[in-house]
Amino acid sequence: MPSVDAKLRVLFLCTGNSCRSQMAEGWARSLKLGTIEAHSAGVEPHGMNPRAVRVMAEAGVDISGQRSKHVDELRGIPFDYVVTVCGHASEACPAFPGPARRVHVGFDDPPRLAKEAVTEEEALGHYRRVRDEIRVFIESLPGAFAELPQGTAR
């Protein structure tokens, strides 16, 4: 782990790196700038989800400048933690050399939930709920890392 003065390097990993992992990176950059160096990536990047960008902007966090990346683009970064935020990414998570500790903290998939929505506002409600759940998790960092067994869900 890094020295007391160093930031934790954290990768938030999801399948598409379009929604949940992007929101987690945005929250970490906004709320934990002094303690966490946040990154996000996917095992099958899909591009940025416009609804995720929208609901994060509503909460005062601009993620429009972030981009969807494949996990291989970040191979040279020595992460302290790799946090998988969806089940598929947890199962498909590649091995990372060095001290990276892998933990799984799953969140519902807003795009999947929004498929059943009748209105745009109903669809955005799913995104907002997950956004807020991710914020609560990010607010608990880095302390929550000590409570999460490696590879285990919350």
What's the predicted TM-score (pTM) here?
0.89
Q: What is the pLDDT of residue 121?
A: 97
Hey, what domains does the chain have and what are their CATH numbers? 8-146 (3.40.50.2300)
* pLDDT tier for residue 100 given thresholds of 50, 70 and 90: confident
Encode pLDDT of 11-68 as tens digits: 999 988 999 999 999 999 999 999 999 999 998 898 999 999 999 999 999 999 999 9
List, by residue number, the catalytic residues.
14, 86, 93
Q: Mean per-residue pLDDT for 101-113?
A: 92
Lowest mean pLDDT among 86-95, 98-107, 139-148: 86-95
- Interatomic CA distance for residues 131 and 118, integer angstroms: 20
Burial (Cβ within 10 Å: 0-12, 13-18, ≥19) of residue 20: buried
How far is 55 from 95, CA to CA, in rounded Å?
A: 32
